[in-house]
Chain A
């Protein structure tokens, strides 16, 4: 077991606990940067898509994992981001600016949803966000001026520094860079007073308010940030699918995002990324398995859905702390090698008392 010998208070808020970890992350960054040179363009595209999913997942983690507000409608923010990106590029606004616009638009809508949602908690909030995403999807598929009079909206393919941007390596590096940026912003936020307020809000709203956290402002801020990150992911997603329909951002996308957060492990940025990687790899894996199954089973779309469901049930029942929890257990096992005790991570059971009063 490596202990941290603390010599200053600043060490408590360092991004990494051990200096040696910097080397691991540098190696990871170098490997990811070199990857497009080594693998085929198809896999580069797939990886870039996983990065986009990871951005959205980190955004949702900020809201659900850290602030404790469940959103079943995060797909709506991706939708808004994607449409704003397509319209902005169509109007001739250059690429980095259009991304900012997408973030601002999604963030603004996030505040619009967040302010009335302040009065709602838990279950009611989850259902309200679900209804919100249904309404947004409906508006974008039926109102002509939002979807530019067509059911399909084509996303322009801009040139950046003389290179075609859509698909390809440029997209990969942009997604990777934005993912790294998003993660750093979130980590920094979480060690600052605002992030601490988010976590306090999750663990006990009453205690947080007593200690001077402005509940309304903090909740609205969490909604805005999470929605803005969702909008950024949506803008990148638009380039991946290149023709937009509102149906590609339906409830299933929102549920997939929530699944990433849960499978990865609530309350951990690392978990959000791991969850996105897991779900991003699940689809190609299912496509592979299909070749070996009899066609009557393999050609059904139900197989994917059933597997999704089973994975989710499995994680909630057997590994509620998700992939990142499993990771820290494996790490603890090797660090304390001969004397690891299973009880270290035992779940505590609590008898739930109703929140309802009679």
Chain B
């Protein structure tokens, strides 16, 4: 069950990648650092400022959305129309900067983030489940549904898909491509913020939280990088696989995600739920 909770967090990180990739075809290497930033903002709001958990949750998500929008507006926008490589390097640079600044502001020590969830596991149908785990699973499922309907049913969601497929054509159809991108970044950063708060009962709030970005990659690739349900599924698979391997061979737990990732990539180069490969010449 713990594996599913961790997997859900991986899935949320992967979701952030997929959102930004779907709309702008940029892979956001800074997603893990945004998660870390979200966790630190939540900690600042809850511990030194003493705000209640729910208020802090909403404020953190709002703050992260603003950060995401600002990053897009001031940093990512100039490279619209540049090759993929520029995007990768730019987000790696952003990741370094966010991590460095967070370390300057909050310092390297670990912190615990208090949560309102009870520590005692409760018994549901013979399985022991912690409240925090339930909360993670619930929020992830809700978010996934919301985003799924957003992309399928709303004008804005469809505009985002159009912008991702062909920027010029989307422009010609009067879609405000630049604002759409900014909105996408805001949503992705907010998702990272949510993941950062939810992860608190499982891990301490510290600088090394960014490492989760690597697991998130594995989850996103497993799911085929363009699909929202795929991202969550990939996250869950990797979380469970890690937990299982951890039981039998504890020293190999850390690299399970990468081994699974490489195996899947070599067998299915576009991921499990990926779109078929095809490029018109």
Interface residues of A (CB under 8 A from B): 70, 116, 119-120, 122-124, 126-128, 130-132, 134-135, 138-139, 142, 206, 251, 255, 258-259, 262, 266, 297, 300-313, 316-317, 320, 347, 349-358
Contacts and interface: CB of A to CB of B under 8 A. Distances in A.
B92 interface: yes
Given A135-B262, A300-B107, A317-B79, A258 B92 contact: yes
A349 B82 CA distance: 7
Interface stretch (B134-142, B147-155, B159-167): B159-167
A312 to B, nearest CB: 3
Classify the secondary structure of B's interface with A: helix
B167 A351 contact: yes
Interface string B79-92: 10110111011101
Contacts, number: 163
A259 B108 CA distance: 24
Contacts of B107: 300
Interface of B: 25, 27, 75, 78-79, 81-82, 84-86, 88-90, 92-104, 107-108, 164-168, 171, 207, 214, 217-218, 221, 225-226, 251-252, 254-255, 257-259, 261-262, 265-266, 269-270, 275-276, 278-281
Contact of B104 (A132, A306, A347, A353): A306
A349 B101 CA distance: 32
Given A123-B84, A131-B261, A266-B85, A312 B96 contact: yes
Given A142-B251, A301-B103, A308 B262 contact: no
A120 B79 CA distance: 24
Given A300-B107, A317-B90, 20 more contacts: A70-B85, A123-B84, A124-B269, A127-B218, A128-B265, A131-B218, A134-B214, A135-B259, A138-B254, A266-B85, A302-B99, A302-B102, A309-B94, A349-B81, A351-B166, A351-B167, A352-B25, A352-B81, A354-B25, A354-B164
A301 B214 CA distance: 22
A131 B92 contact: no
A103 B79 CA distance: 38
Classify the secondary structure of A's interface with B: helix
B259 A354 contact: no
Contacts of A351: 81, 166-168, 171
Given A119-B269, A352-B81, A300 B275 contact: no
A350 B262 CA distance: 33
B165 A354 contact: yes
B89 A258 contact: yes
7 contacts: A127-B218, A206-B281, A302-B100, A304-B100, A306-B96, A309-B92, A350-B81
B89 A130 contact: no
B75 A317 contact: yes
A306 B98 CA distance: 7
Contacts of A354: 25, 164-166
A134 B93 CA distance: 20
